[in-house]
A and B are shown apart, each in its own frame.
Chain A
Amino acid sequence: MSLIRLQNISRRYEMGSEIIHALRDVSLEIQRGEYVAIMGPSGSGKSTLMNVIGCLDTPTSGEYILNGISVSDMDDDELAEIRNREIGFVFQTFNLLARSNALHNVELPLIYAGVPSEERREAALQALRQVGLSDRVSHKPNELSGGQRQRVAVARALVTRPSIILADEPTGNLDSKTGAEIMDLFDALWRRGNTIILVTHEETIAKRSRRIVRILDGLIASDESLESGNGEALTPVLPAGRRLEF
């Protein structure tokens, strides 16, 4: 069973009297453990596709089955629960809560999941350790560098052990060296069994993945699998279906 199955997804917006077709009849399947890049110029519909995959938005028509559950007709609160459980977001602008320290930012999804505080703290510390920020837990975002902020965001995405890590231009606001470090982190997470979907317009970033889906004018223009340049295995080390173990 596919982790993500989009069937004939369309998304239309009304802008005044004009109707904009952001997605037209898109069908796409992504398996557990894949490392996929979604590419496309701005206005191509890749952000809409990401929003639909991330359950932030619902399609106008078509069906979306995520991890065996049809989410295309869910209401706000049900979607919130799915996002909390199944999806870990990493945004271009980090989107951390400015007034909260790193630990609290990472704890937040677990608070919404109703995890008891003791357990929550433990898991958040673990996630921060994974991204190499054990010594920055009580720093607030403005006391951290861009790369460190993005690491906190990655830790926040990891902490609920979601089915998908969905990263929207994760290196867009970082210099190339820091960006490369963040991409190394994603590579490592993938190798440990996580499913990663990257939304990007940079070829070099997309080349890190194992599959590139190109979007143009609301349609899938191409869908290609990549051979790893340095001879790494295409399949993750852990068998598909196995969740990340801390």
Chain B
Amino acid sequence: MLVVHGAWVDGRLGVWAEDTARGAVPASRAALRPHPFAAPATTLAEALRGSGTDGPGSTGAPAGPVAGAEERELTIRLPGSAGGPLPSPESGLASRARSPRILTWRVPALLLPPAGALHLLGALTGPDTDVGVGVNAETGRGCSWPNADDEAYGNTGGPEWGPGLSLRYLSVVAEHARSLVRRGRVLPGLVVEKGVPAARWRPVLTGADRAALRAVAAAMPPVCRAVPEERPSKEVLTEALNGLVDGVVRLSLPGRLIAGRWPGLGAPLPDRWLYALTGEDAALPAGRPAEVAALGDALDGWSASAHQLDGPVRACFQLIEPVRDGGPWRVEFGLAPTPGHPSLTSVPGQASPAPGADRSPPAPAAGCPSASVVADYLPAGRIRAGQRAPWLPERPMEILRTDLARAVRLHPGLHSALRDPEPTGLSVETAWAFSFLRNGAPALRAAGYGVLLPAWTGRQGLGLKLTTRAVTGGEDLGLDDRVNVRLDVVVGDHTITPAELAGLAGLGIPLIQVQGRWVELDDRQLKAALAVVERHGGGDRTVGEVIREVVEGGDEELPLITVDADGLLGDLLSGEADRRLTPVRVPRDLRGTLRPYQERGLSWLSFLSGLGLGGVLADDMGLGKTVSTLSLLLSERESGRPGPTLLVCPMSLVGNWQKEAARFAPSLRVHVHHGGTRKRDDELASAVRGADLVVTTYGTVLRDLGALAALEWERVVCDEAQAIKNSATLQSRAVRSIPARTRLALTGTPVENHLSDLWSIMEFCNPGLLGSAVRFRRRHQEPIEFRRDEGATAALRRATGPFVLRRLKTDRSIISDLPEKLEMKVWCTLTPEQAELYESVVNDMLHRIDGFHGIERRGNVMATMTRLKQICNHPAHLLKDGSRLAGRSGKLARLEELAAEIVEEGDKALIFTQYTEFGSLLQPYLAALLDRPVLWLHGGLSKSRREELVERFQRDEEPMLFLLSLKAAGTGLNLTAAGHVIHVDRWWNPAVEDQATDRAFRIGQTKNVQVRKFICLDTLEERIDEMIEGKKSLAERVVGTGEDWIAGLSTERLRELLRLGPLAVS
């Protein structure tokens, strides 16, 4: 497999690759040595040519990223020794040099022009990319490495490849380039390239963008700046960003900027320059020097003026309410330090905001704006009176006036202030104030000015209040039952009568005072309010209609801001239904105990299901979503014979569901519909009719959609429902298209990246209830994600609250329900490749074992045990061939999911393995997959290095994952920062495992610790686990010494212990 690395070389993306199949062979002794395991450029081109993705940003790119690429040999500085360079961690190759030094190597490379570079880098964007990148059909997660189903990375006929972290780093740079271009933070310029003038688009980096790119430069992997020698990261980043920004604009603007004939060499330079800003050829040969100088000066001055807005001090505008009734509004000017400016980075509390974030100072807290909440804000009046601050420049009033003159371009109403040579503010009419609120303030804020508005701005407006009252006692509730409904127009908690409303309309001004509070009120809102009052009034409505009305949240101009409902409907709409509903009895057939919060969850699930409504059970991982779901199935079978439930889950969880159902709900009839031998046609229909729970996978649903959709289902459940977070994917559409009376989504992360994830999951649960994706984006997603709009957030909470139950393990009430240490077994299945290897090793051993005796027999049995455990971990662990990891191991798939969920929750985990070689494979793989550092502590590290890792894990926010060798780290260490412990493989010695677990679960631990032990179903792992669990005393007697006792078993017992059962393979 190829591990592809990237650097920016001569205005192009230079890619080169390590070929893991070539391995770390000895290097030549030549003075400038070829990299001994770098892939030939032709092989690399062949691999990348196969990745003809339609990744983000690839719009308009020619077919494949290597179109127009140049083959070139690069010199690169890499750490290593005379024996060869150190391999990258992603390669999985063993490192040889003990004291590496920096040496120069030659590598074959491809130089991709910007279009190809953007195409390639766009396909690598983020772990959340769903388009074109390796998205695992079973998990829905993006993969950074190829797996069996990937077309993005090399399973299209060419050699397999995966991106090194350097290439992924450059993909982040490309994301910034795209973001800058989308926001218009670019300007065209005239540059000189190899002595020839050229038209190029350049980024304008100010404020938050400047700070973000500074962080990007600081984090650059050294390998990115090692061609042809050690270079400054800032210089490399500038070149890369310039090239990518220019490329993005050219791809975004394929047409000409002006109509008419193509200007020849004799045409005026500005004419030729404009044409050269689009298309592929940016060069402007034969330009007359005077013309080049004049155009260059004009454009440079333009660019400089854009950067002048980015000084250490910025102008601020503060809108102040009238102090007396009928008095004027006032806009006060002032100065404040620019947040995140490099000259101010030492000032406490002035953290750099995220790129694209609102750079304005926080809004004042109370009704009257107060400058005190903005650090160091100084009104112009006080500056003019002589007040000074350490950050204030000389001649501050000149700076203010210059900034004000620029601001006039965005809000012309400010122009009159310029009549004053030292302006401090303006007294304005109410209509002016409204115009400033609606138009001026957002534009000024977006341009980087400080804007202070009254606290009520954007929050306080006309809205609707929905009141419902149950017609009957309300013991039972159905969607078709009727309730009394009343709609009122309100401001805050004040109800406005129709007469008052008519009076307000008569005033004809857009800012009014209601009960002493200012309210923004434009014509559209007034008309909507009048229409609503006329249209609705009171009356009866069905429960279903009321729910829909609440979810819709009123009109855009007139949002629903308050709901007052009684009875069961009130319980549901309160968003606290689990606490308010009458508890459902714990089912008799449940083999286990539900914790109090699980009982409340069962009541909520039963209530929604009874109404025929879908829900999202979004409890934190480890809180028991599986047992809650099984309890629901048992509970409804106590009062009737409902149809079967279809449960769709990632392949890695099929075994777990089987095992958990057998453990907690043995009375449920479970059928697994998965794998090559699954039932079809009539046999499938018959099996489903005879089942309570049918477990299948997302992949199988896609393949068997017709057959599954034709059957009758009581319920469809999606486990790890983030797999359907992208509503447009085939698997999302497939599960949505299966008819069922009700639906349930299980996920610990209902919103992984964007709010659209939640829309997609809700669309599965309650189709159509949240409205179209477009409406959801406009109504909720954009206001919340872009502006952090509190009103939109409250509206979304109100709309989804009844259907989403989410409890965090950090909730006070949950903590008290949970044990301090929660131990769980995680049941994993083998992939067909693992199963084949497993059977082969078992058969080989059993075939030969009778011929061995004594030490020889013992040695053979133990060696077989080790091999089988390695296979259960991963085929590459046994084969040691440097082959790819993704998609070949059930355990690894489960580990990927768990690690991603833990990181998503912001928690930390210890991951134990007894095999150093497996840890060495996992560490770079997980780091690349999750885009996060992963620590790896093993016996090969010095004491000081181990202490350093432990301290880093305990002290820093990252890394969140710590891989540890069971032998090297099983005792002595204090790792209480972790809330999760995962034993990927088993030592079969409870004492040893407990000691390792106690690295996290010990004095100083303040969280509940979740401990997971991975076990491969129907393999030796499960059987040994059963023996330990079932015969504790025997286990204590024989297992105390580890695994040696197994070697003493008879051949027949061995056969039984090691055999591969039918449940083992996924």
On whether the two chains bind one another, the answer is no
List residues of chain A with CB under 8 Å of any chain B CB. Answer: none
